[in-house]
Amino acid sequence: MTVTEIVRPMSIPRMSDAEVAAVHVSAPRVIRSEWLKMRTLRSSWLTMALAIASVPGIGIAIAWSTERDWANMRVREKGHFDPLGDPLSGFNLAQLAIGVLAILIVAGEYSGGMIRATLAAVPKRVPVLAAKVFVFTTLTLVTMLPTAILTFFVSEHILSAVHIQTSWSTPNVSRIVIGVALYLTVVAALAMGIGAIVRNVAGGIGAFVGILLVLPVIAEALPQTWGDRINKWLPSNAGQALMSVASDNTTLSPWRGFIVFSAYAVGTLIVAAVLLRRRDA
């Protein structure tokens, strides 16, 4: 070199041979990384807290207000009250929170450029998406299952004061309560697939809300003969069949509906995985 400069050698920490030998990518490590990613963002905690609080919060409020008001309610109003389904209706808010968080976890990496660091660390790419889905669906299931069961028992206890409670051993009850958690778990998976395809938080949330919440409302406007045939196959309608007491020709049977809903989620995730491999990051 013709330009002389003063080099002050730095001491850059090296890894020992033993450390180097142990360093490689593995599925459990990618899962650990994704779990750490989720835990280290404030938005995860806030949104998850909302999802968890919404089911018992709304359920207990409904049970308590009904119990207070029962003596004054008209017969027809009493007939409309569903002592099982109404206290569980907080899942509507929970699914929004879970969907938003799922999209933040996946598409949020694209807004700041984190995805480049992630994919440089795990260049095979698909394990990243798989780990995200594994971590978040597991979290959703293990939090929402006890939440739904707790909500059921607390609200039934409240309603027992006016003798309108139902019990765990009543036919369909356990399936419906557990179904809330299963439905929300598949919502998480579906939303992650949408987030991975759209790669943009706002767009992803828009697509999620459109598909899960708006589509069934629009479909209501179809002529009845069409609606009866089409509506039950829409993702959220199919999935919520698991939470209905009885099925008729306008709904799918509970488990069939759940399988259809799960198939939507799996299909979306497969498309997401193929695109993840193909597209430039």
Partner 1 sequence: MIEATGLIKRYGEKVAVDDLSFSVRPGIVTGFLGPNGAGKSTTMRMIIGLDSPSAGKVTVNGRLYAQHRAPLHEVGALLEAKAVHNGRSARNHLLVLAATCGISARRVDELLDLVGLSAVGSKRIGGFSLGMGQRLGIAAALLGDPATLILDEPVNGLDPDGILWIRNLLRTLANEGRTVLVSSHLMAEMALTADHLLVIGRGRLIADVSVADFIREASSGLVDVRTPDGDRLREVLVGPTVHVTSTAPGRLQVSGLTSDQIGDLAAAEGIRLHELIPQQASLEEAFMDLTHDSLEYQRSDEVA
Contact with partner 1 (CB under 8 A): which of 46, 49, 61, 117?
117
Return the SS3 of 175: helix
Smaller CB separation from partner 1, 71 or 120: 120
* Span of 107-115, 149-157, 196-204, 251-259 interacting with partner 1 by CB under 8 A: 107-115
Q: Which residue shows structure tokens 């193909």? A: 278
What is the separation of C-alpha 225 from the centre of its chain, rounded to a whole number of angstroms?
32
10 sits near partner 1 (criterion: CB under 8 A): yes
Applying CB under 8 A, does 225 fall inside the site for partner 1?
no
d(CA 281, CA 278): 9
User: Residue 215 burial by CB count (10 A; 0-12/13-18/19+): exposed, middle or buried?
Assistant: middle
Residue 116: HSE in the Cβ half-sphere, 13 Å Cα cutoff: 4
Binder of partner 1 out of 45, 80, 82, 113 (CB under 8 A): 113
Contact 200, 110 (CB under 8 A): yes
| One character per residue 20-59, x = contact with partner 1 (rule: CB under 8 A) | x-xxxxx--xx-xx--xx--xxxx----------------
DSSP string, 177-195: HHHHHHHHHHHHHHHHHHH
> Could you say whether residue 71 binds partner 1 (CB under 8 A)?
no
Instruction: Report in angstroms how near the CB of residue 117 gets to partner 1 at its nearest.
Output: 4
Nearer to partner 1, 116 or 157 (CB): 116
Does 280 engage in binding with partner 1 (CB under 8 A)? yes
Among 10-18, 86-94, 165-173, 254-262, the segment contacting partner 1 (CB under 8 A): 10-18
3-state secondary structure of 62: helix
Cα radius of gyration rounded to whole Å, the chain: 24
Q: Kindly report the number of other CB atoms within 10 A of residue 202's CB atom.
A: 11
Nearer to partner 1, 78 or 277 (CB): 277
Query: What minimum distance in Å lies between the beta carbon of 183 and partner 1?
Result: 29
Query: How far is 268 from 104, CA to CA, in rounded Å?
Result: 17
Name the site residues for partner 1 (rule: CB under 8 A): 1-3, 5, 7-10, 12-15, 19-20, 22-26, 29-30, 32-33, 36-37, 40-43, 108-109, 112-124, 278, 280-281
